[in-house]
Chains A and B, each alone.
Chain A
Amino acid sequence: MNVDAKQMKKIEMQEYQNLVDQIKPKPDILKNSIWAFMVGGLICGFAQVLVNYLLSLGMSRIDASSAVSCIMIFLAAFFTGIGVYDELGKRAGAGSIVPITGFANAIVASAMEYKREGYIFGVGARIFSVAGPTLVFGFAVAVVVGLIKVFLSS
């Protein structure tokens, strides 16, 4: 392709992009935000109620937080297993993805999906296919933060 033809193609693609932008419906940000806020808030609010309840039983704050994380992860896994969490996620978006329950959903959904390819090449190899990046970069950041702390405190 010579320079002129390339230039023409570029203009044509830009014109097409303008047409697409004009016609393509935008996601309803307000509605989606309200859903995300309500569902995310309810999930976190429910967890807080549990924390307060465990604290009132005399559990330490650290133990109560760990116990509630476990309960929330279990609930998310359970609702993923009975096919409810994805229906919630369709409406709630970030509201059901950002809390720890969303992480549990990503892992359990992968485990369920790939079980048909067996426990080693299916579940084992692909259980983190969605959640993997979060783990990798979470670990990477933890190492960096840890190093910074070591240098600052020495």
Chain B
Amino acid sequence: MPGFKKKGSQTVVFEKAPVITSWASIVGPKEGEGPWGQEFDSVLGDYMFGEDSWEKAEKKMLREAVKLSLDKRNLQVDDAEIILAGDLLNQTVSSNYAARELARPFLGLYGACSTMAEALLVGSMLIDGNFFSRLVSATCSHHYAASRQYRFPTEQGTQPTPSTQWTATAAGAVVLEWAGVGPRITAGTIGKVIDMGQSDAADMGSAMAPAAADTLKTHLNDLERLPDYYDLIVTGDLARVGMAIAEQLFIRDGLLPKPNYSDCGVLLYDEKQDVDAGGCGCGCSAAMLCGPLLKKMQKGEINKMLLVATGALMSPTMAFQGESIPGIAHAIAIEN
């Protein structure tokens, strides 16, 4: 029976929910100083990580995060049947070059900052579809590598606005298996690209918030769930401005009772850390998931969590050609 795992319009429900058996996170110095600094596996002392460019440092972070996630479960790199990864850089170089060194079958993904959820969604479908029994989903971002690609040279004196977000220097990797001990990915909602005409490159939160609200509403409708089904609903990297807008959109969409809602971009940094609206980047939701959030699930402090990772599909080329910024959000339900 084709399509029997699809519920409603955009949601898939896994028959045999894949298990998150291990996870690892590596973050930069600034993220290490943030409120969750103790919860990450490794905090880098500097932004170069022993390499000679930001891009190579980012690649190394991803590679090491993948290795560490397998190592924590006493597995070798060769035990991962396939690696799913993506990042923010042009041609997703960090993932491609990390995969070159890991030398495992590899599918590269791009969903901007929503990549972690995308990789977990695709990975869960591959496992529940009986194609693979063990894989790694991973993603990363690096503040300075992203900064030079999307904004200005890093040493240039430019003034941020209150809605500007700080791209996280962080990598996260998750080992997904068909059986084992750990939280399970029970369902996922594949988001639509939504564009509400926002074009301020210094305000990704406003560009992404409608996609987050749309995916969340669709997810709850498709599964006929109420927002309080989840102990925590957490969006990827809307940061303070986007989160405030998303909360208004939830009210507009009639999400009742009010969800226990937060955002990784708001959580990752302390307000005093000079990050303006908050964090962003693939690594933002990846590190929060593979650090504090999954740990809390392991301890049973959270039992049902919905991660709605958000991505601003921003391209400087298209922006200069007068196009607005499309947003996307994918949701994955993680349950104990």
Q: Which residues of A contact B (CB under 8 A)?
A: 12-13, 16-17, 19-20, 23-28, 32, 80-81, 83, 85-94, 96-97, 102, 105-106, 108-110, 112-114, 116, 129-130
Contact = CB atoms under 8 A, between A and B. Distances in A.
Given A23-B245, A25-B241, A90 B197 contact: no
Contact of B157 (A13, A20, A81, A86): A86
Contacts, number: 90
A91 B154 CA distance: 15
Given A89-B158, A91-B159, A109-B156, 5 more contacts: A19-B245, A20-B206, A32-B159, A85-B157, A130-B153
B158 A90 contact: yes
Interface in B32-77: 52-53
Contact of B155 (A27, A83, A116): A83
The 8 A-B residue pairs with the shortest CB-CB distance, nearest first, are: A89-B157, A113-B153, A93-B159, A109-B156, A109-B153, A109-B155, A25-B162, A13-B197
Given A109-B154, A112-B153, A130-B152, A20 B245 contact: yes
B319 interface: no
Interface in B156-214: 156-163, 196-198, 203, 206, 210
A24 to B, nearest CB: 6
B165 to A, nearest CB: 13
Given A89-B159, A116-B53, A13 B153 contact: no
What is the predominant secondary structure among interface residues of chain B facing chain A?
A: loop
Nearest to A20: B206
Nearest to B324: A13
A63 B38 CA distance: 59
B155 A113 contact: yes
Nearest to B152: A130
Contacts of A19: 245, 248-249
Contact of B163 (A25, A81, A129): A25
A106 B206 CA distance: 29
B272 to A, nearest CB: 15
Contacts of A97: 157-158
Contact of B156 (A20, A91, A105, A116): A105
Nearest to B198: A20
Interface of B: 52-53, 148, 152-163, 196-198, 203, 206, 210, 241, 244-245, 248-249
A16 B198 CA distance: 9
A138 B161 CA distance: 28
Contact of A85 (B155, B197, B244, B249): B155
Contacts of B153: 106, 109-110, 112-114, 129-130
B244 A80 contact: no
Contacts of B245: 19-20, 23
A12 B157 contact: no
Nearest to B56: A116
28 contacts: A12-B196, A17-B197, A20-B206, A23-B241, A23-B245, A24-B162, A24-B203, A25-B162, A25-B163, A26-B162, A27-B161, A28-B162, A80-B157, A81-B155, A85-B155, A86-B156, A87-B157, A96-B157, A97-B157, A102-B157, A109-B152, A109-B153, A109-B154, A109-B156, A113-B153, A113-B155, A114-B153, A130-B153
A12 B252 CA distance: 12
B197 A23 contact: no
Contacts of B162: 24-28
Nearest to B274: A90
Nearest to B155: A109
B161 A113 contact: no
A86 B155 contact: yes
A87 B197 CA distance: 32
A137 B310 CA distance: 39
Given A19-B248, A25-B241, A90 B196 contact: no
A23 B240 CA distance: 10
Nearest to A94: B159
Contacts of A96: 157
Nearest to A26: B162
Contacts of A89: 156-159
Nearest to B163: A24
A92 B154 contact: no
A92 B158 CA distance: 9
Contacts of B152: 109, 130
Contact of A23 (B160, B198, B244): B244
